[in-house]
Structure 1
Amino acid sequence: MLAGKHILLIIGGGIAAFKTLDLIRRLRGRGAVVTPVLTKAGEEFVTPLSVAALAGNKVYRDLFDLGDEAEMGHIQLSRVADLVVVAPATADLMAKMAQGQANDLASTLLLATDTPVMIAPAMNVRMWQHIATQRNLTTLQGDGILVVGPNDGDMACGEFGPGRMAEPLEIVAAIEAQLSDGPLKGKRILVTSGPTHEPIDPVRYIANRSSGTQGTAIGRALLALGAKVVFVTGPADAAAPQGAEVIRVQTAQQMLEAVESALPADAAIFAAAVADWRVSSASDRKLKKSKDGMPVLEFAENPDILRTVSQRKAERPALVIGFAAETDDVIENATAKLLRKGCDWIVANDVSPATGIMGGRENAVTLITEAGAEDWPRMDKDAVARQLAQRIAARLT
């Protein structure tokens, strides 16, 4: 998939720089041409010799190297690539990018490029969570910069949390998704997945048995066809698809806000199992047993995300797909849901306990469209996702 693709790889200064050696090897193994740019801080962690040996290409290091400028000026270097990848993207590099600084070769290339840029952030958890870094991240995403990671994990400094650079295979998957020439290339598709958790008190919540497996499979299938996927997920068991822009939420209200902020999109697939109700006044303290008996919980209806998006007058996706998880009268209930919500398609399935579908590896769905109901055979969830992605591609192209 990456044969002949040209990757300009900017290696920032951080312990995660050692992972870029494996990243280079895997990119070249897939046929990509890698031109490395090594920052001065990056040289503290990997050597120019090791980077050049693995890349099979010259390492660029200095903005004011007359020999490099004569061979290929930094402006040309910034524009010949199909994709610019910054890994690791340190807090300092992200700040320079957000502020438009150009005081070394890496930042100058990033300011001068007219090709897509992808960053793989890596830093201490406190640095990642700092308001300045999050502000810079928001700016970069608003500028169209692609982001992969960071992951949660152990840090070299001994702390644990978000800030660990995505693994090389994750970055490769994101690069392949970005450079794919599939039928959905250039299409932005929103996918919701997983359950929502509606708090009762700080330790209890209302949820359901959704694992998020089908949503993740749909995200992967869309990425494989070249789509840019925005993946809004509740606290699911299944990992988010590599290469997607991931937004994590807990509650239905948070999911609605994330969905609305992700629009416009060419299509939206609402695979999440959103709780219909929430406790209207969740306690800020753990509820205790008392002699007065059981506490009384008052419920309020959660926002209807599918209906809200389906009935938008502005920025409504061209294709809106809902899911109907039913335990009886599946076709009748799902068809009524399609009409009631105003969406274009409904993917219906029977999630009765005997089916083993909710939380399982297989699914048996009926696709309901304007043409009627179409039963699909029982198959694994990845196969369902691929078939649905192909149908989406046929509709959008």
Structure 2
Amino acid sequence: MLRRLHIPRPLTRRTIAYLVIAWAAAWFGIMAVGGGSSWHFFEQGASALADADDAVAGGLHVYAAAPVLQIGPLSFLAVLPLLPAGGWVALLGWQILGAAAGLLLLWLVRGLVPRWQRDDAWLAIAAAYFMPVWMFLAVGVAHLDDVLALLLSVGALRAARAAHGWLAGLLLGLATDAKPWAIGFAALLLLLPGRRHRLAAVATLAATVAAAWVPFFAGDPGTSNALRYTIQNAPVSALHALGIHDARTPSWDRPAQLVLALALGALAVRRGRWPAIPLLVVASRLVLEPGGNKYYIAGVVVATVIWDYAGSRHNLPWWTISACLGLFVARWVPMPDLVHGWALVALFVAACGVLFDRRRVRRSQYDLVAAGPGTVLR
């Protein structure tokens, strides 16, 4: 049985939930002041997508005309219902929904372990460090695409743990339709028991991605311009720290991110470290990411909460605490740019180290179901 920090138990589960909600609401208020700095991308993309009569920049031509919109069509479709109400109303609506998504995500993480292993007070500690970073993503910059991608990917992980192949594939496909980098989580489909479940998941994933993206490529071949779009190689990036000083995204970079994420995710499954899959995928992305946006760290804290709660045997959520303070809060502390880049490299090295840690990870009823009767789990 896992030995964790002893926390007095005068608080009921409901009280703990109220405290987490109150903490989330407080950070919502803080981040809402001057928030929504990236919302104009979603207004632009959603308006263009809805303008099917524009044969140059609207409808299926949106990505060909504006490759800067590195956002999946599902995210633009999600914006459309609120857009007629006005820009600030749509923004506020999705800020509220994005904040609620953070609470839903914690609930999904809680369900990754069986009832007898759940510790709501301990998860609340992780939530204390998770919420400021999540609210920066969902409210401060209002990057709806990453909110949807992370939420749906965690939902896919939950579905895979419960052996729901088609649902895992569907959710992961929708995550990719919201933000293309989410395809890196595909290794989690290896968690499904048996070839039938895996094939169903892969087929559903492929169909879901194709349904969203093929119409754009078929409607305007210029959509391929979005695949070649590059961003500035920021001085705070891990690429800079590793000595790669190309002015913009190297041509090999995005494919390398995907291959590395899939390979390490598959290795995590093979070594019985399934809770580390999100951590390895996000770390693989950031160690080769030319961008230096602060909201990227939201993906890290989502991954660390999963590892801390479902995999790590530490008595406190040290991964989540370290990610919040060392990668997020540190971005507001004056220091050389290379320090931030090396911090991301350190995250990647530490995440890879999880694969070779000799200590046992936490086991759940789902591992027993997947392994079959009579199997001894290492």
TM-score by length of structure 1 reads 0.28
Compare the two structures and name the one with the higher helix fraction. 2
Higher relative contact order (CA 8 A, sep 6+): 2
Compare the two structures and name the one with the higher strand fraction. 1
Work out which of the two has the higher radius of gyration on C-alpha atoms and give 1 or 2. 1
